[in-house]
């Protein structure tokens, strides 16, 4: 579907004081993406290319984040109607439909927006379509005053409403679809003689009705109209979004053993037949290909996992981890900026950073790539089929050739040629009977009796 005759105006000039934050409210992330970008993506998803974000004079950070969407500055926050007026210049040549959205109400669905635009085309041709909702706790939302035929007569703000109007169940979500040819003419006649002394966008309904234009309501689900005003709301919105992402992942063919414990980023991409165990966290930019398994308590960000690979339990993949087909990354293994080629195994207690691990290589427990000298990062290259014994330190830059073997406990600082064997250890020395003699000496010195040789004493 394309809506090249639709523009979106997103209001984001409010102060957001209840967030108590240095970060503008609409840039607070949900699923690791600024909330306003979720909204803009939904809008773009229904084919609306033209968006104007209304920001306050100090809204530079928001403007940068929403680019290439246009921004308009509302110089003083004088109300929602005044805010929409700020987009007048940006829409000077525009005659299509204008969707008005709030930057802090990011969960609205494409289906709902499409239903509103469809309503604009209905036989009565309503000049204003308002998205209504029936929240469980209607609180201080504006109330929708409807006629017997269900059409919209007016919106009354809570503070200005009579007790009878406050009892109306249908509330204003704030979202509207408006005839762009009528919009600014209607806004010109909005005054501020009301309880808040603000220019209310909501007043355009009664003005349109007085002009003989019709107005309509489309009802939406409260869950997608959740507005974020505080960190508590932010957490509630995160929960809604995480549930959507979990359901989407399962619909797309992933198995989530305990979906309620898995956390996604908005851009997480899972293939078909991926299995995700309990308590897995996907940070930004993770791609998991078909048939890979992410076991319990793994944390991934900026990583790619190829088909058939097994990650975890308790694995950490950091940015630039590129795990090849059928490779295994086991418990307490951290991989950063490293390519692990097909079938390689790194199963226990290991740090691999700034490295390549060749196909089929086996990295023993406790192996560390010593990639940082305190000033710069250096590269470790492990060839195909190489075997690194447990508890080895590979001091980068260093290259271990194809098929080479490094003995357990080695600190390797020089390159190992292909098929070579390197062991770096002190000589092992055993003194026959030395243990017995040592114990006798210590018993004498401390006056303690003979001890059993269980080794269990602390
Ligand atoms: C508004 C509606 C109310 C509705 C409620 C739903 C009006 C007059 N009232 O009230 O009917 O039930 O939303 O949440 O429209 N903003 C600006 N510039 C301004 C004022 C607001 O950009 O000068 C932005 C805010 O950042 C926010 C949005 O507009 O994103 C809504 O403003 P807010 O002050 O929260 O409106 P409410 O009083 O909640
Ligand atoms: Mg509000």
Query: pLDDT, tens digit, for every residue of 152-206?
Result: 999 999 999 999 999 999 999 999 999 999 999 999 999 999 999 999 999 999 9
- Cα–Cα dist 230/25, whole Å: 9
Give the tens place of pLDDT for each residue, 361-387: 999 999 999 999 999 999 999 999 999
Tokens 């309620």, residue?
260
User: Cα(first)–Cα(last) distance of the chain, in Å?
Assistant: 73
For residues 159 and 67, give the distance between their C-alpha atoms in angstroms, rounded to a whole number: 36
**Percent of the chain, pLDDT > 70?**
97
Q: Can you tell me which residue has the tokens 């009579």?
A: 162
Q: Considering 75, 348, 378, 414, which one is annotated as catalytic?
A: 348
Domains in the chain, CATH or no CATH each: 3-225 (3.90.550.10), 255-422 (2.160.10.10)
Tokens of 260: 């309620």
- What was the pLDDT predicted at 4? 66
Residues with CB under 6 A from ligand 1: 11-14, 54, 74, 77-80, 82-83, 102-104, 141-142, 155, 157, 171-174, 200-202, 227
What spacing in Å lies between the alpha carbon of 13 and ligand 1's midpoint?
A: 10
Query: Which ligand has its closest atom nearest to the C-alpha of 194?
Result: 1
**Binning pLDDT at 50, 70 and 90, where does residue 49 land?**
confident
Ligand nearest to the CA of 105: 1
Burial class (CB in 10 A: 0-12, 13-18, 19+), 170: buried
Ligand 1 atom at shortest distance from the alpha carbon of 155: 11
Among protein residues, the one with the nearest Cα to ligand 1's atom 34 is: 14
**What is the position in ligand 1's atom list of the atom closest to the CA of 82?**
23
Q: How many CA atoms lie within 13 A of 83 on its CB side?
A: 27
The token pair at 410 is 């080695």
* Vertex 188: Cα angle to 226 and 25 (nearest 5): 30
Distance CA 15, CA 12 (A): 8
pLDDT of residue 16: 87
Q: What helix, strand, coil percent values describe the chain, rounded to 5?
A: 25, 30, 50
What does the pLDDT average to over 294-305?
98
**CA 327 – CA 305 distance, rounded (Å):** 9
Could you give the 3-state DSSP secondary structure of residue 319?
coil
**From 8, 9, 14, 200, mutation site for ligand 1 pocket: most ligand atoms within 8 A of C-beta:** 14
The phi, psi pair for 153, rounded to 5°, reads: -100, -45
What are the CA-CA distances from residue 200 to residues 205, 263, 277, 406 (Å)?
A: 10, 39, 49, 74
Cα 19 to ligand 2 centre (Å): 13
- Specify the pLDDT at position 296: 98
pLDDT greater than 70 at residue 453:
no
| Cα dihedral 62/66/72/73 (nearest 10) | 0
Q: Which atom of ligand 1 is found nearest the CA of 173? A: 6
Position 455 pLDDT exceeds 90: no
Residues in the chain: 458
Q: Following DSSP, what letter does each residue of 268-328 receive, concatenated?
A: -EE-TT-EE-SS-EE-SS-EE-TT-EE-TT-EESS-EE-TT-EE-SS-EE-TTEEE-TT-E
Q: How far apart are CA 70 and CA 165, in angstroms?
A: 38
**E strands of 74-122, at which residues?**
97-102
Q: Tens digit of pLDDT for each residue in 7-32?
A: 999 999 988 899 999 999 999 999 99
Helical residues (DSSP H) of 272-327, grouped into ranges: none
Asked whether the CA dihedral 216, 219, 224, 229 is positive or negative, the reply is positive
Of 357, 364, 362, which Cα lies nearest the Cα of 382? 357
Pairing of strands 128-133, 171-179: antiparallel
pLDDT for res 139: 82
Task: Give the burial string for 405-422 (b: 16+ CB within 10 Å, else e).
Answer: bbbebbebeeebeeeeeb
- β-bridge mates for residue 254, sequence order: none
* pLDDT of 458 higher than 60: no
Other Cβ atoms closer than 10 A to 137:
7
Q: What are residue 391's phi and psi, to 5 degrees?
A: 60, 40
Q: H-type helices in 162-264, by residue range?
A: 163-166, 180-188, 204-210, 231-251
Question: CB neighbours of 263 closer than 8 A, spacing ≥ 6?
Answer: 242, 280, 281, 282
Q: Which atom of ligand 1 is nearest to the CA of 78?
A: 23
98-143 pLDDT, tens digit per residue, is 999 999 999 999 999 999 999 999 999 999 999 999 998 878 999 9
Inter-residue contact 199 to 79 (CB < 8 Å): yes
Q: Which ligand is nearest to the CA of 74?
A: 1
Say how far apart CA 392 and CA 380 lie, in whole Å. Answer: 13
Question: How far apart are alpha carbons 59 and 62 in whole angstroms?
Answer: 5
pLDDT higher than 90, residue 457? no
Find out whether 30 and 102 touch, Cβ atoms under 8 Å: no
| 355 vs 141: CA distance, rounded Å | 56
> Does the annotation count 75 as an active-site position?
no
What single DSSP character describes residue 169? Answer: S
Q: pTM for this structure?
A: 0.91
Which pLDDT score, from 0 to 100, does residue 137 have?
A: 86
Sign of CA dihedral 28, 32, 34, 38: negative
Q: 406 has which bridge partners?
A: 388, 422
Phi, psi of 100, deg, nearest 5: -105, 125
Pick from 102, 141, 202, 219 the residue to mutate for probing ligand 1's pocket: most ligand atoms within 8 Å of its CB: 102
Which whole number is the average pLDDT over 327-334? 98
CA distance 336 to 298: 14
Mean pLDDT computed over 248-255: 98
**Residue 1: its pLDDT value, please?**
54
């Amino acid at each position: 579907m394309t809506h090249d005759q639709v523009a979106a105006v997103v209001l984001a000039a409010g102060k957001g004081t209840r967030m108590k934050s240095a970060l503008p409210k609409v840039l607070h992330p949900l699923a690791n993406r600024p909330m306003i970008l979720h909204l803009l993506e939904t809008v773009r998803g229904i084919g609306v290319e033209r968006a104007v974000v209304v920001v306050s004079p100090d809204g530079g950070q928001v403007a940068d984040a929403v680019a290439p969407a246009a921004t308009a500055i509302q110089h003083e926050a004088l109300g929602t109607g005044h805010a929409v007026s700020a987009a007048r210049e940006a829409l000077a040549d525009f005659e299509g439909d204008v969707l008005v959205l709030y930057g802090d109400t990011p969960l609205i669905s494409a289906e709902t927006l499409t239903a509103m635009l469809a309503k604009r085309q209905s036989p009565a041709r309503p000049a204003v379509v308002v998205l209504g909702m029936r929240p469980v706790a209607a609180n201080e939302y504006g109330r929708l005053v409807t006629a017997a035929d269900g059409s919209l007569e007016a919106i009354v703000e809570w503070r200005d409403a009579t007790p009878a109007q406050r009892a109306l169940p249908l509330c204003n979500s704030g979202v509207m679809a408006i005839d762009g040819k009528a919009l600014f003419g209607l806004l010109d006649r909005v005054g501020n003689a009301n309880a808040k002394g603000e220019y209310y966008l909501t007043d355009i309904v009664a003005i349109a009705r007085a002009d003989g234009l019709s107005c309509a309501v489309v009802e939406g689900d409260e869950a997608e109209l959740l507005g974020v005003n505080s960190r508590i709301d932010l957490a509630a919105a995160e929960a809604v979004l995480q549930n959507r992402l979990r359901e989407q992942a399962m619909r797309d063919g992933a198995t989530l053993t305990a979906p309620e414990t898995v956390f996604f980023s908005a851009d997480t991409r899972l293939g078909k037949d991926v299995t995700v165990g309990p308590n897995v966290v996907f940070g930004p930019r993770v791609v998991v290909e078909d048939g890979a398994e992410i076991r319990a308590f793994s944390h991934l960000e900026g990583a790619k996992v190829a088909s058939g690979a097994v990650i975890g339990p308790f694995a950490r993949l950091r940015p630039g981890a590129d795990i090849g087909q059928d490779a295994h990354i086991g418990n307490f293994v951290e991989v950063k900026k490293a390519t692990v080629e097909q079938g390689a195994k790194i199963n226990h207690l290991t740090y691999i950073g700034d490295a390549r691990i060749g196909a089929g290589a086996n990295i023993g427990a406790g192996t560390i790539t010593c990639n940082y000298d305190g000033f710069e990062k250096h590269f470790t290259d492990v060839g195909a089929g190489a075997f690194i014994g447990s508890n080895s330190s590979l001091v980068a830059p260093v290259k271990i050739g194809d098929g080479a073997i490094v003995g357990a406990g080695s600190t390797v600082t020089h390159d190992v040629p292909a098929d070579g064997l390197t062991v770096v250890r002190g000589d092992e020395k055993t003194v026959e009977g030395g243990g017995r003699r040592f114990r006798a000496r210590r018993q004498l010195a401390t006056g303690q009796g003979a001890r059993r040789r269980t080794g269990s004493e602390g």
